[in-house]
Amino acid sequence: MTNISRRKFILTTSVAAAASIVAHGCTSNNSPSATGEQTPSAAPAANVSSANAPKVETTKAKLGFIPLTDAAPLIIAKEKGFFAKYGMTDVEVIKQKSWPVTRDNLKIGSSGDGIDGAHILSPMPYLLTIKDKVPMYILARLNTNGQAISVANKFKDLKVNLESKGLKEVAAKAKADKKSVKMGITFPGGTHDLWMRYWLAAGGINPDQDVVLEPVPPPQMVANMKVGTVDAFCVGEPWNAQLVSQKLGYSALVTGELWKDHPEKAFTMRKDWVDQNPNAAQAILMAILEAQQWCDKAENKEEMCKICSDRKYFNVAAADIVERAKGNIDYGDGRTEKNFAHKMKFWADNASYPYKSHDTWFLTEEIRWGYLPADTKIVDIVNQVNKEDLWKKAAKAINVADAEIPTSTSRGIETFFDGVKFDPEKPEAYLQSLKIKKA
- At 2-51, the pLDDT tens digits run 454 434 444 433 333 333 333 333 333 333 333 344 444 567 765 555 66
pLDDT at 43: 72
Determine whether 11 is exposed, middle or buried from the number of CB atoms within 10 Å of its CB (0-12, 13-18, 19+).
Answer: middle
CA-CA-CA-CA dihedral for 385, 391, 394, 398, to nearest 10: 160
pLDDT exceeds cutoff 60 at 96: yes
What local confidence, expressed as pLDDT, does residue 439 receive? Answer: 82
What is the pLDDT at residue 20?
Answer: 35
pLDDT band at 346 (very low <50, low <70, confident <90, very high): very high
Query: Looking at residue 239, what is its pLDDT?
Result: 98
pTM of the model: 0.90
For 124-157, what is each residue's pLDDT tens digit? 999 999 999 999 999 999 999 999 999 999 999 9
Q: Which of 93, 119, 100 has its CA nearest to residue 37?
A: 93
Task: Judge whether residue 327 has pLDDT over 90.
Answer: yes
- pLDDT tens sequence across 376-386: 999 999 999 99
Nearest to 72 by CA among 305, 320, 281: 305
Burial per residue of 126-148, b for 16 or more beta-carbon CB atoms within 10 angstroms, e otherwise:
bbbbbeeebbbbbbbbbbbbbbb
62-80: b (≥16 Cβ within 10 Å) or e: bbbbbbbbbbbbbbbbbbb
pLDDT digits (tens, 9 = 90+) for 357-398: 999 999 999 999 999 999 999 999 999 999 999 999 999 999
253: Cα separation from own chain's centroid? 16
The tally of CA atoms less than 13 A away on the side-chain side of residue 239 is: 34
Q: Per DSSP, what are the bridge partners of residue 119?
A: 267
